[in-house]
Structure 1
Amino acid sequence: MATKAPPRIFSSHRRLAVRRRMLALQALPDAPRYLIDDMVEDVQERLAFLRFEPKTALVIGDYSHALARALTAQGVAVTEVEPADGFAEEQPYPFEGFDLIVSLGCLDTVNDVPGALVHIRKALAAGGMMIASFPSSGSLPVLRDVMLAVDGDRPSPRLHPAIDVRAGGQLLQRTLFADPVIDQRPLQVAFRKLDRLVGDLRAQGLSNVLADPGPHLGKDAIARARDAFAAAGEDGRTVERFEILTLSGWKR
């Protein structure tokens, strides 16, 4: 019986272009990195709490390279890969036997999340651990409301559908990870203008990569969006929220 292909929600070409633009923007001075910094810090805290000391690790998507530097300093042999450089998360990995695999900010925009998790599990050594973190359901509530208000009676697809805690748990069970842990934490950031938020999203690889991205906003719609974003704040600042979902499990 033929395996049913996953729905095509995201465009692989747009995803590649967005990540390449992200890498270029991250090379600029004062590039925003608060999302990747939060994820890296969380991974380090988890490993320290578990007293897990891997000998080998694969790190996917950490454009800051901070996690690799920290693990290397602890004597871990680290391999880093980046989707923008051609690493395909939805294909079998060209290597295996890692004690630890960490995926940061990547799994929220692959079409076949179960398949990607299966490939991670296969690339782990027995007793190895997987940690995956990415923006999840509940992120960018202000921006979502602004876009709905601007589009009016005919809303267009502009922001990504996202994985929630329940779906994350189901994914780990489906892909046979042992001792799964699923949690979500908020990260709040204040912005003076909508344009700054949009700039931060681009610089951190969170632009629209939907297969059907919808029509571009016209000048009048952009002006209304700016006004609506400002009206959602106080004292010249609007607080936006990111929800970071972390999935972890073991290969037994």
Structure 2
Amino acid sequence: MLRSRLVQHTTITRLPWRRMYATASSSPNTPIFQVFNRDAKRRQKDRAAMDVESSRTVDYLKDEVAARVADRLADIKRDFHTVVDLGSGCGHIVKHLSKDNMKKLIMCDMSEQALKRDMDQHYPVQVERKVVDEEYLPFKEDSLEAVVSSMSMHWVNDLPGALIQVRKALQPDGVFVGAILGGDTLFELRTSLQLAETERESGVSPHVSPMTDSSDIARLLSRAGFVLTTVDVDEIQVNYPSMFELMDDLKAMGENNAVLTRRPMLHRDTLMAAAAIYKELHGNPDGTIPATFEIIYMIGWKPSASTPQPKKRGSATTSMKDVLEN
């Protein structure tokens, strides 16, 4: 049975949950900080995609974010022959592309089941599917015109290394357009579970994955070698009947917890307490509960000979003082 959901934009200010990263000098193939269990995440995505009807029901969030990523790509006044979609899932971005400026999309995902789910669908551009782990890209250096990624790279352990691999695979003046979940995502769920677990079990464990914030992304893009970078943040709030429908939808999306140190399960009385706390602290007047998804959008370009460069220090012929006085 379909549940009613309201998608709207809100602004919420709170301290983000900060995430640690490997240094930019580390090898892209050897993540220093193993935060996520990648095998568990692949299995979660496989199971979600195999339940075709349920997973299609919860495509609403990924489809919405993918549409915004596709809009940003369309704003680039350039014709692309082939674009790579990293972490494509079942094909959220391809639904929103136009054959007017693109011929082919290579959908790449670690989940073979996700890639197979919608093979019977018809899209406006030619599609090729590849099983690819975002942490280990198979593409040759200087071989890609553009790379897009939506709602996937927040599960990568070595995000700096992954971005370096993307930049290396791009042709000079190639572009990367991406979107990941930010640190304020699901803060309502996180705080409710922490309070309930502290009260009932005298301790807490991570039940919502740690994520990054926009200032981290801007630095990571620069450290990975991208130029002319752009980062902006949006928030999508979805209303659910209760915390349990939210958790069911996250599981059906393949977005359930994959932190290595996660506890296998919570006791039923802890979950019931968390649901009550969620409604008390964050509930809407109509009895529903909001879930906030912070989306960080990013654009970065691979340098080329034609990339605009800043002038050398001291090369100006007019002083700022004279400009301001006039």
Say whether 1:222 aligns with 2:278.
Answer: no
5+ residue gaps in structure 1? none
Name the counterpart of 1:77.
104
* Structure 2 CA distance for partners of 1:26 and 1:248, relative to 1, 3 Å: farther
Deviations 1:160-182 (A, max 9, x none): 11110110011101100011111
2:138 aligned to 90, 93, 107, which one? 93
SS at match of 1:73: coil
* Structure 2 CA distance for partners of 1:56 and 1:39, relative to 1, 3 Å: same
SS at match of 1:76: strand
TM-score normalised by the chain length of structure 2: 0.72
Name the counterpart of 2:64.
38
Give percent identity, aligned residues only: 25
Offset, 1:52: 3.3
Contact 1:101–1:129 (8 Å) recurs in 2: yes
Match runs of 1:42-191 below 5 Å: 42-71=68-97, 73-74=99-100, 75-85=102-112, 86-95=131-140, 97-152=143-198, 153-191=202-240
Q: Of Structure 1 and Structure 2, which has the larger fraction of its residues in helix?
A: 1
* Structure 2 CA distance for partners of 1:90 and 1:140, relative to 1, 3 Å: same
* Structure 2 CA distance for partners of 1:59 and 1:218, relative to 1, 3 Å: same
Contact 2:67–2:96 (8 Å) recurs in 1: no
- Off by >3 Å, runs of 4+ in structure 1: 1-5, 25-30, 69-72
Contact 1:131–1:248 (8 Å) recurs in 2: yes
Q: Aligned pair count?
A: 252
User: CA-atom RMSD, angstroms?
Assistant: 2.1
TM-score normalised by the chain length of structure 1: 0.91
**What amino acid does structure 2 have at the position aligned with 1:194?**
M
* Structure 2 CA distance for partners of 1:37 and 1:176, relative to 1, 3 Å: same
Distance 1:26 1:173 in 2: 39
Offset, 1:212: 0.8
Name the counterpart of 1:195.
244
Worse-matched range after superposition: 63-72 or 44-53: 63-72
Distance 1:177 1:29 in 2: 35
